Amino acid sequence: MSSTAESVLSHFRSLCAIPHGTYHIDAISDYLKDFALQRGLSVRQDELKNVIIHKDATPGYENEPAVILQGHMDMVAVCDDPSKKNMLTDGLDLTESDGYLYAKGTSLGGDDGIALAYAMAILEDDSIPHPDLTAVFTVNEEVGMDGALGIDLSDTSAKRLLNIDSEEEGVITVSCAGGVRLHAVLKGETKKITAPCVFLSLNGLLGGHSGTEIHKMRANGAHLIAEILAELADEYEIRLISMSAGEKDNAIPASASAEFLVPDLGDPDEFMHIVEEIEDEYRKDYEGIETDISLFAGIQLPQECICFSEEDTERFLDYINEVPDGVIEMFEDIDMVKTSLNLGILKCTPEGLTADYALRSNVSSGKEEITKEVIAITEEYKGEWETFGDYPAWEYLENSPFREKAVSVYEELYGEKPVVTGVHAGLECGILAEKIKGLDAISIGPNILNIHTTREKLDLASVERTWKFILNLLARKDRD
């Protein structure tokens, strides 16, 4: 039996060489299929490009409960400088530092490439004792769990699921939030006028995952740029040309920019002074949370530009600022978010304003209520909307033999009990539990920091310890 995680990291590095951002997973899906075929394993690749690999139990484990090993192929592919790295065609530039693995200038995709790597290392090593295994690799999890929603698992009899899509070692997740995406569009009229033009950029925010880090009360770049523009509109006539923030609806935007005309600009120095005051204001508001807020304004001489009217500009900004942001409701009895809302992508072009939201709740009623509220506000501001990617919450299971086994194995290995909890983020367990009645599921993972950002890094020692835990969990027989 493999005692180190060298094979896991080898597979992970190979996966990182294959571009696999959400919606661009054909290559990695084919790679996983070929991996199975080359090793004589039973494999099925469906029309969505989900991959299901089966491996029989090792001798002596034929009567143990079958287990599904599960993770998703796609990563949130973000880049510091897209002009230098095309994440649709280029692999990642990996490097190690201080015990961490990360990718230079891009996200790493530890979420959830590490799950694939763990499963691949187990599937290819015949010395590892385990029950009947089914490895389920799904697609496009990051944008609505499309793969899990569309997968057919009627050919598996397994009732236990080991999801490896958590990012904190020593934590066993046993429930998660449900969610839905909402896309809103507000249209307006444009015309050409000649006036001084201002480019405004907001940078230095922490950003992060809109589920696991929403409770940290970090600034949302999309909302903050709209607030800043609204403050400037209190002093000047603002004619919006363009606006942009965020790349993924489930990531908190870490930067934003806007371009607009200011017909009544007057003294440029006075305008710049107001911008500096606004920057100081928000630095104080987020003191202790955001440490590097940076607001830059550049003023150009009067020029003819296509822009929105002052009324449409005001409507767009008021809309963004009226929609709630961040934590909507906490649980009363435990320190955990119940319902949240994240504006992950904001764009304004001559065609109008578009906003993409990720809505989450650990209770179905909370998801329904916040969805209705966003729809009502969107319609109030003469906008159109559509929802997609609706997935259910994964509810806590009172009786879970698999959970109890995992707790026992962890305690024996490390001399302390793991944390058993729920998470305010989307996991595919809830969807799969609807497809497999009586499914007993847990979610684990090694330490991965700053997921969905270019600061993402994988704790190599934690990868090793988690590997040991997975091997011992699979090797432990129910009667032991």
Structure-token pair, residue 150: 């569309």
H or E stretch at 30: helix 26-38
Q: Where are the alpha helices (DSSP H) in 286-398?
A: 310-322, 364-380
Q: What is the mean pLDDT of each run of 10 residues along the chain (480 residues)?
A: 81 98 97 98 98 98 97 96 90 97 96 98 97 98 91 95 96 92 96 96 95 93 98 96 95 97 95 97 96 96 94 98 96 84 97 96 91 98 94 86 97 95 87 93 97 95 98 91
Quick one: fold of 181-391? Alpha-Beta Plaits (3.30.70)
81-116 b/e with 16+ CB inside 10 Å = b? eeeebebeeebbebeeeeebbbbeebbbbbbbbbbb
Quote the distance between the C-alpha of residue 320 and its chain's center: 22
SS3 330: strand
Number of helical (H) and strand (E) elements in the chain, helices listed first? 11, 23
CA distance 411 to 3: 19
The gap between the terminal CA atoms of the chain, to the nearest Å, is: 19
Type of residue found at 390: D
Fold matches, 6-177+393-475 and 181-391: no
Structure-token pair, residue 313: 């500009």
Q: Across-strand partners of 251?
A: 209
- C-beta separation of 390 from 371 below 8 A: no
Q: What is the pLDDT at residue 84? A: 85
- The yes/no answer on whether domain 6-177+393-475 falls in CATH 3.40.630.10 is yes
Structure-token pair, residue 68: 């599904």
- C-beta separation of 250 from 388 below 8 A: no
Q: What is the pLDDT at residue 480? A: 63
Structure-token pair, residue 334: 């435990």
pTM: 0.71
- C-beta separation of 76 from 251 below 8 A: yes
H or E stretch at 294: strand 294-308
Residue extents of the structural domains in the chain: 6-177+393-475, 181-391
In 10 A of CB 383, how many CB atoms?
Answer: 20
SS3 52: strand
DSSP 57-106: PPTT-TTSPPEEEEEES-B---BS-TTT--TTT----EEEETTEEEETTB
Structure-token pair, residue 138: 């799904």
How far, in Å, are 29, 59, 185, 447, 460 from residue 164 at the CA level? 18, 25, 36, 11, 16
Q: What is the pLDDT at residue 335? A: 78
- C-beta separation of 319 from 377 below 8 A: yes
Q: What is the pLDDT at residue 1? A: 42
Structure-token pair, residue 89: 């065609």
Question: Considering only CA atoms, which of 177, 201, 75, 124 is closest in space to residue 424?
Answer: 177
- Strand intervals (E) in 210-293: 239-245, 251-252, 256-261
Q: What is the dihedral of CA 52, 53, 58, 61, to 10 degrees?
A: 0
- C-beta separation of 258 from 271 below 8 A: no
CA distance 259 to 278: 17
H or E stretch at 358: strand 352-361
- Do the bridges between strand 160-163 and strand 171-176 make them parallel or antiparallel, or are there none, so unpaired? unpaired
- C-beta separation of 296 from 362 below 8 A: no
How many CA atoms does the CB half-sphere of 242 hold within 13 Å? 12
pLDDT tens column, 211-244: 889 999 999 999 999 999 999 999 999 999 999 9
Q: What is the pLDDT at residue 4? A: 80
Q: Which residues contact 475 (CB under 8 A, 6 or more apart)?
A: 1, 128, 129, 130
Give yes or no for a cis peptide into 112 (omega within 30° of 0).
yes
Interhelix angle 221-233/268-285, rounded to 10 degrees, is 140
